[in-house]
């Protein structure tokens, strides 16, 4: 049985007339382009909550806790009545920093093998400098030197940016920048 042009087979051996996408030949490329945009553009609507971020790594979790702790300390140090609270906060900061020091940044895996040893040493030295500054903060708080404690907190915050530029991968740095922008917008 011969099928005529413009017909498509249906179930049961029947045929139906095929309707063109559009009778206007100029609209066909437009409709095809629109379909391609819809299919390809649908990746913009992917649920990003299932995509892992640098904060999902153990190191990212420790660093996030350090940042949160520093923000809390900045407010606590101004109030001498909260001395017990900020002493506990400093010990928690030190604990998070020690745990972070033992971990390797994601960027380490992106480096050639011959550069990884020096990178790891530089990272650990930078983390130790941060821990040393936290120790200075603790002593200033224990001795009741609130101004010195506030200065140590400022120095700890200043240490972040250069260290992140050196030790974060491009993906981590971009993610952190997005988070800081989100925090700025939220704080306004």
Q: What is the pLDDT of residue 166?
A: 80
**Residue 42 falls inside a structural domain:** no
**Residue 140 falls inside a structural domain:** yes
CATH number at residue 77: 1.20.120.10
**Residue 65 falls inside a structural domain:** yes
Mean pLDDT of the chain: 78
* Domain total in the chain: 1
Model confidence over 63-74: pLDDT tens digits?
999 999 999 888
Predicted TM-score (pTM) above 0.75? no
Model confidence over 135-156: pLDDT tens digits?
999 999 999 898 999 999 999 9
Rounded CA-CA distance 158/133 in Å is 11
Residue-number span of the structural domain to which 142 is assigned: 55-166
Model confidence over 90-139: pLDDT tens digits?
999 999 999 999 999 988 889 999 999 999 999 999 999 999 999 999 99
**Residue 39 falls inside a structural domain:** no
**Residue 178 falls inside a structural domain:** no
Structure tokens at 158: 């200043």
Residue 104: other Cβ atoms inside 10 A: 15
């Amino acid at each position: 049985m011969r099928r005529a042009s413009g017909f498509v087979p249906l179930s049961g051996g029947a045929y139906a007339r095929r309707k063109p996408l559009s009778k206007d030949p100029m609209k066909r490329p437009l409709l095809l382009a629109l379909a391609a945009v819809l299919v390809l553009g649908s990746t913009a609507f992917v649920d990003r909550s299932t995509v892992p971020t640098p904060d999902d790594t153990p190191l990212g979790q420790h660093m996030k806790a350090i940042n949160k702790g520093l923000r809390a300390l900045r407010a606590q140090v101004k109030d001498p009545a909260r001395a017990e609270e900020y002493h506990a906060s400093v010990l928690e900061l030190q604990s998070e920093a020690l745990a972070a020091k033992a971990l390797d940044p994601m960027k380490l895996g992106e480096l050639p093998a011959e550069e990884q040893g020096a990178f790891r040493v530089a990272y650990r030295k930078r983390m130790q400098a941060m821990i040393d500054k936290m120790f200075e903060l603790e002593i200033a708080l224990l001795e009741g030197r609130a101004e010195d404690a506030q200065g140590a907190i400022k120095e700890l915050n200043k240490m972040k940016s250069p260290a992140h530029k050196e030790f974060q991968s491009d993906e981590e740095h971009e993610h952190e920048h997005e988070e800081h922008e989100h925090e700025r917008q939220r704080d306004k």
